[in-house]
Structure 1
């Protein structure tokens, strides 16, 4: 596949209580023998993605232990493979990830060393099934700069999500993060496709301006400048 995968495992989530106590949400047990991240990992492996980077931060030990056997997803290969990234402390870097965009920027060398032209970014805590190969084909056919996977909710209260408004051709014309008065009931799933070199350029730009959030500082800020498409 012509894309690498990056899985963001997120920080602490107090809403889940004891289910996520002492562990990353992505490591939360599902049906006793699975972890939440298994669904995203399986989606990527089944879609033909051969190189996956997992960005960890909060209480990542159990998650790293779980991922230690990459052969589960056929990622223990000579070319490609599974890469796990945690915040590291050096003289010029003494902070944890300050946001989702910063988490990507601190691991930008992974993007620069890769040869695949596209990047698929996905959360590691969601339970879903998707064919990323079809998503990538859609992204290329639409000649999009960034494609967001979206979902239409049945409930009208979408204030806890990034709300998406699209035109009749599914081009995104408005994005708002956790709005008090949502314009639609279509939300972003936190899954994105973007050209690798474009992502590198955008991350370097917003990082130089001390901006750290993927949604507010990149997607919303550049929505009018870039062609963003929704994938339902």
Structure 2
């Protein structure tokens, strides 16, 4: 039996390895999006750390007046790049589809995060931009936009709880070792913080308010650890993906 390789028409040798360029493009888009999100939300929009929930109508209106320019610049920019959330979901789904736990969990993650992007990201942008668009509105209306934006941003629980649960299950049951098992247990802490954050709908001050030590700062620390691990693991997975040798040659046997 003899076998020959199918070569390109021009007779040149085919490359032995082909890097997954699109994986790296999306990886860097994911990283840059979260960096831009941090700048827009923390340094310009001032949503993190958040303003106080225990304020009067006049104080909420004065807060919008004080931070009008930052909100307009930061949140308008974030609206322009809001599609980056979908790209971020896509790369997670891409690697989850390579897990032995099945494609269904990958689709479930993409769907839940896609739904969660509206209350967890878009609503505060629209509410606060609306508030500073006409700062002469009645203070009670600005007060409602103030509360609605923050409660939606920090208190959108169900979609993200479902998404983190799906990731944890997929990693635990994966036999292809796309991500290490310990990352599933880090993700479970994300679920815990989402459940604790439900208390912000009941308290206007203290550890369980939207600016509280438990509902906010503990959650920020855990999220910081989680996203740092996620980015590092994505980088490792992307390098492994690039190092794979695709089947560029198709053996043709003849007897």
- The TM-score normalised by the length of structure 1 is 0.33
Structure number, greater radius of gyration: 2
- The TM-score normalised by the length of structure 2 is 0.31
Higher helix share: 2
Higher strand share: 1
